[in-house]
């Protein structure tokens, strides 16, 4: 009984956060531009981390981030519908990324859902947030980044289109 109450409270909190983010959600085109900029900067050696942090902050402002898989399930069910196969697929996909983040010693910071306005509709992009330890070399960061991108493959889930694009850019 107590547990049911806790889950209901969690669901209510997540729904409120989602509704708040929807009101201030950025346009889908703008979100895509920012994601492309971050990817381009990430592939450029050198100290661009400040600019990347600012861009990430803008995406975060249009995202809901939760810490655990049960919370992430609630969030995904709210946007895709309880019976949608997209829920389980996104859970498995992002969990695969998160597992490799932790195996590699990077710092998992949450499961996220980017909320973007597309005309009268919304687009929802699930993701896994993490940071890399400051002491890591550029080479180490790149190797780990590649393994994190590839994680769904390893766990029998499909790579997303953005995973594939990012991996192919690494091979250039
Ligand atoms: Zn992915």
Q: Where are the domains of the chain?
A: 2-165
Q: What is the pTM of this model?
A: 0.90
Burial letters for 53-92: b for 16+ Cβ neighbours within 10 Å, e otherwise?
eebbeebeebbbbbeeeebbbbbbbbbbeeeeebbebbbe
Q: Which residues contact 159 (CB under 8 A, 6 or more apart)?
A: 149, 150, 152, 153, 167
Tell me, in angstroms, the distance from the centre of ligand 1 to residue 97's CA.
7
Tell me, in angstroms, the distance from the centre of ligand 1 to residue 44's CA.
21
Ligand 1 is an ion; residues with CB less than 5 A from it: 160, 163
Give all strands (DSSP E) within 99-169, no chain letters: 107-118, 121-131
- 45, 61, 115: which is closest to 53 by C-alpha? 61
Tell me, in angstroms, the distance from the centre of ligand 1 to residue 1's CA.
36
Tell me, in angstroms, the distance from the centre of ligand 1 to residue 106's CA.
16
- 70-128 tens-digit pLDDT: 999 999 999 999 999 999 999 999 999 999 999 999 999 999 999 999 999 999 999 99
Average pLDDT, the chain: 91
Tell me, in angstroms, the distance from the centre of ligand 1 to residue 6's CA.
30
């Amino acid at each position: 009984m107590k547990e049911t109450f806790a889950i209901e409270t969690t669901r209510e909190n997540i729904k409120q956060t989602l509704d708040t983010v929807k009101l201030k959600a950025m346009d889908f085109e703008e979100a895509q531009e920012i994601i492309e900029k971050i990817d381009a900067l990430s592939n450029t050696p050198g100290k661009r981390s400040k600019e990347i942090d600012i861009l990430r902050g803008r995406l975060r402002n249009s995202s809901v981030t939760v810490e655990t898989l049960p919370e992430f399930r609630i969030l995904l069910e709210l946007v895709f519908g309880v019976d949608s196969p997209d829920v389980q697929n996104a859970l498995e996909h992002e969990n695969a990324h998160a597992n490799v983040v932790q195996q590699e010693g990077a710092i998992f910071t949450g499961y996220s859902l980017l909320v973007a306005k597309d005309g009268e509709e919304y687009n929802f992009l699930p993701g896994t947030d993490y940071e890399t330890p400051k002491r890591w070399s550029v080479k180490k960061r790149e190797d780990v980044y590649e393994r994190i991108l590839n994680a769904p493959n390893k766990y029998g889930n499909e790579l997303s289109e953005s995973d594939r694009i990012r991996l192919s850019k690494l091979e250039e």
